[in-house]
Structure 1
């Protein structure tokens, strides 16, 4: 039987060259040449893996793991050692804290504040561009801060404005000053307080220094809050 001295593959005595390596076959059993290299590589890989395993489970690391496990076990033991009444009190406190946190996030006032904050962020981002710079993504994003029933109208209006400015380059310079002024004002707006009455809300706004800017009215449409008096919004 012949074999390949490089890859160790066996062949019939009538074969002359290795089909994979292309080198001339050797008569006899595969021994030290190709297989020896494979054995050496495997041995080296095993040695490195063993070294890393020993390092991971060194005395220092084992001690750290034991300390963490001991601390966790101690906490569980202390809790188990408490009386039934103490456990109930702790559980009640946890439930109250969770309830307060959920109310803080899902309260109507917070919903209004998040809706207004998101609208201001979108207006700030889009208004920092000239109409001829509006992308389809900008238009879609701005339309999203309007109620669903008005988004198609707003989208078409913005597209029409973009097309007009592209056809009349002089209009871009005329709007630069007002656009910059609006962007600066919006970027400094913060919510101070929210007052809700049914499907309407008034949000008191202040600037970065805490000085009162004014009141922004909000409306609730199909379960979501939207700014009133948005551009093109006559409701």
Structure 2
């Protein structure tokens, strides 16, 4: 918590010194790591406007350091797949950031089951004043040796397991979870449940075929926790 506060203060000081009027409060540090069996990796944050003037934000990007087997997208109120080559920022819809407000942002990497490193470089800028800009990069490390601990190791219980229709998660550590996802054993994402609301949550499994799956929690620090669950009908 203390480290996060210090990083936020440094970001604000840098913003004030440069005349830049917005910054990103990231939920996790670089790099974001995971094994290739995880279909996608994500870094999330909030773009925050530090003054009262409304901004219309656009972005440029560079994929020179993205693994050719990986695919990236950037999302704010809309999502855009990012393709190599020339790019015109104004082909995309501008994102309105009101004075003193915040706008969710995330960069997502689809691994396609390939290992490797990828860095997505982005420049976020205001249409009215293009010198009011923010350069940032999001780094991904996809490695088979990335450690994925068990969900139970952080004090979260799963039940019932096996289950037919509903899966319940219980534990105070759910407050440190940024996403809950269900994967098949080939690494394809079957369900994405988002941020758990509370310390006792229930997820429906309607339409999920009988079989063994992997439930994965992405923690606030970017680490992953996963455990096998069985759907039996």
Q: Rg larger in 1 or in 2?
A: 1
TM-score by length of 2: 0.20
Larger relative strand fraction:
2
Q: Which has the higher helix share?
A: 1
User: Higher relative contact order at CA 8 Å, sep ≥6: structure 1 or structure 2?
Assistant: 2
